[in-house]
Amino acid sequence: MRILIVEDEKELSGSMVKYLQQENYLCDTAFNFGEAMNKVETYEYDCILLDISLPDGNGLKVLEALKADRKTDGVIIISAKDSLDDKIAGLKLGADDYLPKPFHLSELSARIEAVIRRKSFQGSNALVINELNFDLLARVVMVNDQAVDLTRKEYDLLLYLASNKNRVISRNAIAEKISGESADVYDNFDFIYAHIKNLKKKLSAAGCEDYIESVYGIGYKFTIR
């Protein structure tokens, strides 16, 4: 899987590359508009991470060029502006997703995975990890072919953890994932512990191995040995 990271902040770009490489993605980087246009025209990517505000141009122009060439690369806009207008403009132009800065790398990784899965033609709508089987369309999880009765938030949480398997995910990232925008207003994440406990209880009752490991002081980790 090949990913292009268009981001002028070199440090941030470096972090993304490092995290995504560990997920076995091939990463190219472009630090400005010209480079981005060059690479987009030359190669095909499974997913392009596109910063809107570049020193020498607007990232949305890259998106426009892509669509004009009828390329099917997946595009996730990453923007520091966090403005609804940018989001709407980007999605209208055909971006697959929008992620405001600052974001969690685990969140980015999960989104990339979702975009690539949607884009790939032979992509199944299932994600299988040992006895866990996600039906991504129906948003249902099966353990040994038995559906587990999870709430929507529990399902999202489990999928998020599973999408970042063997990575430590901070409790902040988890809280943001499951409480959405309210996490910005109400920043008390004590509820996460109870939430994870419930999820683990349901999974083990369904006969699933205990994959969710807590990392003291930081968060959680979905471990596959």
Report if residue 220 touches other proteins, rule: CB under 8 A: no
Name the residue with tokens 């002028």: 8
- 91, 96, 99, 104 alpha-carbon torsion, rounded to 10°: 170
102/210 with CB nearer other proteins:
102
Cβ-in-10-Å burial (0-12, 13-18, 19+) of 145 comes to: exposed
3-state DSSP assignment of residue 45: coil
Task: Confirm or reject binding of residue 216 to other proteins (CB under 8 A).
Answer: yes
Cα–Cα distance, 19 to 190 (Å, whole number) = 27
Q: Is 56 one of the binding residues for other proteins (CB under 8 A)?
A: no
Q: Which value, to the nearest 10 degrees, does the dihedral of the CA atoms of residues 34, 36, 38, 39 take?
A: 160
User: Which of residues 4, 95, 178, 212 is near other proteins by CB under 8 A?
Assistant: 178
45 is an interface residue for other proteins by CB under 8 A? no
Options 33-41, 115-123, 129-137, 178-186: segment touching other proteins (CB under 8 A): 178-186
The residue ranges that bind other proteins (CB under 8 A) are 9, 11-12, 15-16, 18-19, 22, 80, 82-84, 101-106, 153, 167-168, 170-173, 178-182, 184-188, 190-191, 194-195, 215-219
